[in-house]
């Protein structure tokens, strides 16, 4: 009876607002020809779908979304004619009784094409309450997340990542019993102690070295063994104990990391080891040597212009090493710095920590830190051969990235956050801004049609294999409509063709040169 009252109340609350959301969701699903990230549509012709609790779990563990019962995907999401009232009750019951914690979804009965269907707006749970799981399956097997157009099981690591959000992780404070004080770099330790005693006052100046190192978390409280943070910030070679806690750099020759026709996979490939100060310094140097450099000549002389602002590159790498997940389940995963012809991507293990809006990271100082001890240490650890420290630890790193890009007249950074990883992408300056002209693919010679940079990019992607417009849009980070516009122009030039009617579902486009 309680669930029934709950459903009725939800229906009374949402007779108009949710109806508009459902209409928009159906329009988008029909346009895409499939379910979408935050939209799950089920036919429900035979009663409550068995997978309903899984879908509720998946939406609640993400950013929330819509569940709609009574439409058939195979028939273009047309209504099938269900008992909408019974399905509304089933939605309310599933939210309240079949998942843990219970979800307070908003249930409504709305019309699609004049036929009633049942819908539920499932809210994304607060991070302190995730993961939501199906009761009959248990936490390990019953926790789900959306995977574009379907539900998939959360991995053991992803479940850990959600649970870790409930408190402050201490993985950087874990003592490494195999390590000794002699595994710390004397020069790094000496400069740290000197700085602390100069800038922090009597609290450090009146205590011996080992006591200070324990106070700042570099050594364990009850032992002479270094902590994870101590080894990473001050160690001689931390990878002796954690082989994969390093940085890798790869420069790919193609936009989508596919090998060239001659089998070339990488233009440059390097593993970067050592303590964090050395890794940051070396990673910036490696990226720099692979960047194109132009120049602006003014009255005051020559000013170098790099493909990506070095300040932005450095801040991204510091952000990655300082905020990555150091839990044992993530210690086998490296930080990846990947350079493509059009972008630079830095990916670190572990998603955003805390209640953080990704869109706000580039404009608002945010100090929600997964690794408090390590972050505090890096405030006072010097970069090699410099009086500058590794990090400010004020939550301003990504704001510095945003400012550097804006000052350089470059596009804003793109953030991609998942439970298992966090990626920031920078998009390169155009060739004309660096004092050189970007080359067009071989299909368009100087005697052929003049292409825009985007058209040339589309053509390059089609040289090796046919692709659907949605694939091109995802690779190029532009809308599908924009891709179709470029394809249409290239088709008019006689450079590409579709393998079926352009309005057919699943149509793929091919370069005319490749097709021959």
Q: What is the DSSP string of 399-439?
A: HHHHHHHHHTTPPPPEEEE-SSEEEEEEEPPPGGGGTS-PP
Select from 104, 126, 154 the last residue of a domain.
Answer: 154
514 pLDDT more than 60: no
pLDDT at 436 over 60: no
| Overall domain count for the chain | 3
pLDDT above 90 for 489: no
Instruction: Examine residue 242 and state whether it is found in any structural domain, yes or no.
Output: yes
Pair 464, 258: CB distance under 8 Å: yes
Last residue of a domain, one of 437, 472, 501: 437
Q: Do 484 and 384 fall within a single domain?
A: no
Same domain, 232 and 127: no
- Tokens linked to 206: 């009146």
For tokens 């080359």, name the residue.
439
User: In this structure, is residue 174 part of a structural domain?
Assistant: yes
The answer to whether residue 347 sits within a structural domain is yes
Query: Does one domain contain both 425 and 459?
Result: no
- Strand, helix or coil for residue 287: helix
pLDDT (0 to 100) of residue 484: 83
Determine contact, residues 118/83, Cβ cutoff 8 Å.
Answer: no
Whether the pLDDT of residue 101 is over 50: the answer is yes
Average pLDDT over every residue of 146-164: 89
- One domain, residues 399 and 485: no
Tens of pLDDT, residue by residue over 295-323, are 665 555 666 678 899 999 999 999 999 99
Instruction: Give me the phi and psi of 66, to 5 degrees please.
Output: -115, 135
446: confidence class by pLDDT, cuts 50, 70, 90: very low
Residue 82 φ/ψ region, left for φ over 0, alpha for ψ in the -120 to 50 degree band, beta for the rest: beta
* CATH code where residue 238 lies: 3.30.565.60
The pLDDT of 346-361, averaged and rounded, is 81
- pTM of structure: 0.73
pLDDT band at 430 (very low <50, low <70, confident <90, very high): low
Same domain, 11 and 115: yes
Average pLDDT value for residue range 335-357: 90
Same domain assignment for residues 143 and 200? no
pLDDT > 60? residue 14: no
User: With bands split at pLDDT 50, 70 and 90, how would you rate the model's confidence at 480?
Assistant: confident
Residues 121 and 264 in one domain: no
Between the alpha carbon of residue 221 and those of residues 211, 213, 424, the distances in Å are 9, 9, 36
Q: CA dist 385 to 195, 360, 382, 420, Å?
A: 15, 34, 8, 35
Of 272-276, 288-292, 387-391, give the range with the top mean pLDDT.
Answer: 272-276
Say which range, 30-39, 186-195, 365-374, 447-456, has the weakest mean pLDDT.
447-456
Rounded-to-integer distance, Cα 18 and Cα 39, Å:
13
pLDDT at 5 over 70: no
Residue 149 pLDDT > 80: no
Pairing of strands 247-251, 64-69: unpaired
Percentage above 90 pLDDT, the chain: 59
Reply yes or no on whether the pLDDT at 440 is more than 50: no
Of the three residues 376, 409, 437, the one that is the final residue of a domain is 437
Render the burial of 424-435: b for 16+ CB within 10 Å, e for the rest.
bbbbbbeeeebe
Do 97 and 139 lie in a common domain? yes
**Any domain includes 160:** no
Query: Quick one: tokens of 239?
Result: 């990878």
Token pair recorded at residue 158? 């992803």
What's the pLDDT band for 516 if we cut at 50, 70, 90?
very low
Q: Does any domain span residue 180?
A: yes
Q: Are residues 428 and 501 in the same domain?
A: no
Are 378 and 462 part of one and the same domain?
no
Q: For the domain that residue 18 is a member of, what is the CATH number?
A: 3.30.950.30
- Residue 270 belongs to a domain: yes
Q: Which residue has the higher pLDDT, 157 or 460?
A: 157
Residue 121 lies in a domain: yes
Higher pLDDT, 71 or 432: 71
Q: Which residues contact 130 (CB under 8 A, 6 or more apart)?
A: 60, 61, 162, 163, 165
Long-range contacts at 444-449 (CB < 8 A, ≥ 24 apart):
444/495, 449/493, 449/495
- 128 with 215, same domain? no
The pairing of strands 64-69 and 39-42 is: parallel
In this prediction, residue 422 carries a pLDDT of 94
The answer to which of 61-65, 204-208, 223-227, 435-439 has the lowest mean pLDDT is: 435-439
For residue 493, the domain's CATH number is 1.10.10.10
What confidence score (pLDDT) does residue 337 get?
98
Give the integer Cα–Cα distance in Å for 177 and 225. 6
CA dihedral over 298, 303, 306, 308, signed as positive or negative = negative
d(CA 31, CA 79): 16
**CA-based R_g, the chain, Å:** 27
For the chain, how are helix, strand and coil distributed in percent, rounded to 5?
40, 20, 40
Domain that holds residue 376: 170-437
Environment class of residue 199 by beta-carbon count within 10 Å: exposed (0-12), middle (13-18) or buried (19+)? exposed
pLDDT for the residue numbered 434: 55
Q: Are 483 and 469 spatial neighbours (Cβ–Cβ below 8 Å)? A: yes
- CB of 42 closer than 8 Å to CB of 59: no
One domain, residues 42 and 129: yes
Residue 427: inside a domain: yes
């Amino acid at each position: 009876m309680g669930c029934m009252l709950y459903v009725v109340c939800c229906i009374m609350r949402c007779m108009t607002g949710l109806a508009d959301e459902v209409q928009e969701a159906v329009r988008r699903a029909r346009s895409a020809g499939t379910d979408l990230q935050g939209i799950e549509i089920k036919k429900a012709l035979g009663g409550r779908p068995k997978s309903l609790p899984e879908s509720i779990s998946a939406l609640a563990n993400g950013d929330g979304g819509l569940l709609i019962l009574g439409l058939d995907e195979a028939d273009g999401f047309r209504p099938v004619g269900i008992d909408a009232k019974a399905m509304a009750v089933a939605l309310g019951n599933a939210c309240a009784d079949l998942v843990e914690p219970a979800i307070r979804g908003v249930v409504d009965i709305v019309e699609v094409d004049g036929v009633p269907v049942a819908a539920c707006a499932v809210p994304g749970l607060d991070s302190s309450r995730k993961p939501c799981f199906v009761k009959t399956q248990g936490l390990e097997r019953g926790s789900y997340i959306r995977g574009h157009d379907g539900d998939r099981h959360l991995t053991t690591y992803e479940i850990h990542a959600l649970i870790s959000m409930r408190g402050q992780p201490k993985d950087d404070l874990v003592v490494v019993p195999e390590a000794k004080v002699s595994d710390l770099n004397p020069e790094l330790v000496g400069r740290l102690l000197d700085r602390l005693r100069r800038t922090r006052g009597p609290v450090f100046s009146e205590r011996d070295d080992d006591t200070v190192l324990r106070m700042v978390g570099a050594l364990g409280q009850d032992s002479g063994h270094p902590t994870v943070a101590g080894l990473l910030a001050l160690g001689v070679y931390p990878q002796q104990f954690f082989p994969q806690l390093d940085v890798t750099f790869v420069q790919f020759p193609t936009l989508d990391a596919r090998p060239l026709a001659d089998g070339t996979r990488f233009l440059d490939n390097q593993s970067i080891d050592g303590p964090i100060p050395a890794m940051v310094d070396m990673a910036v140097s490696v990226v720099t040597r692979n960047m194109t450099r132009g120049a602006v000549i003014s009255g005051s002389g020559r000013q170098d212009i790099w493909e990506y602002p070095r300040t932005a590159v450095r801040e991204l790498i510091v952000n990655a090493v300082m905020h990555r997940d150091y839990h044992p389940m993530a210690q086998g995963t490296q930080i990846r710095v990947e350079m493509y012809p059009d972008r630079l991507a830095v990916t670190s293990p572990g998603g955003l920590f805390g209640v953080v809006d990704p869109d706000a990271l580039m404009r608002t100082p945010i100090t929600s830190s997964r690794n408090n001890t390590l972050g505090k240490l890096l405030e006072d650890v010097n970069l090699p051969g410099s009086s500058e420290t590794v990090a400010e630890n004020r939550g301003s790193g990504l704001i510095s990235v945003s400012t550097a890009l804006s000052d350089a007249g470059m596009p804003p950074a793109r953030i991609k956050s998942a439970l298992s990883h966090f990626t920031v992408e920078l998009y390169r300056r155009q060739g004309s801004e660096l004092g050189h002209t970007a080359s067009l693919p071989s299909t368009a010679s100087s005697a052929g049609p003049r292409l825009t940079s985007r058209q040339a990019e589309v053509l390059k992607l089609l040289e090796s294999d046919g692709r659907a417009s949605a694939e091109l849009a995802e690779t190029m980070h532009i809308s599908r409509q924009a891709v179709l516009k470029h394809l249409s122009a290239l088709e008019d030039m006689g450079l590409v063709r579709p393998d079926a009617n352009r309005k057919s579902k699943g149509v793929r486009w091919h370069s005319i040169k490749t097709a021959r």
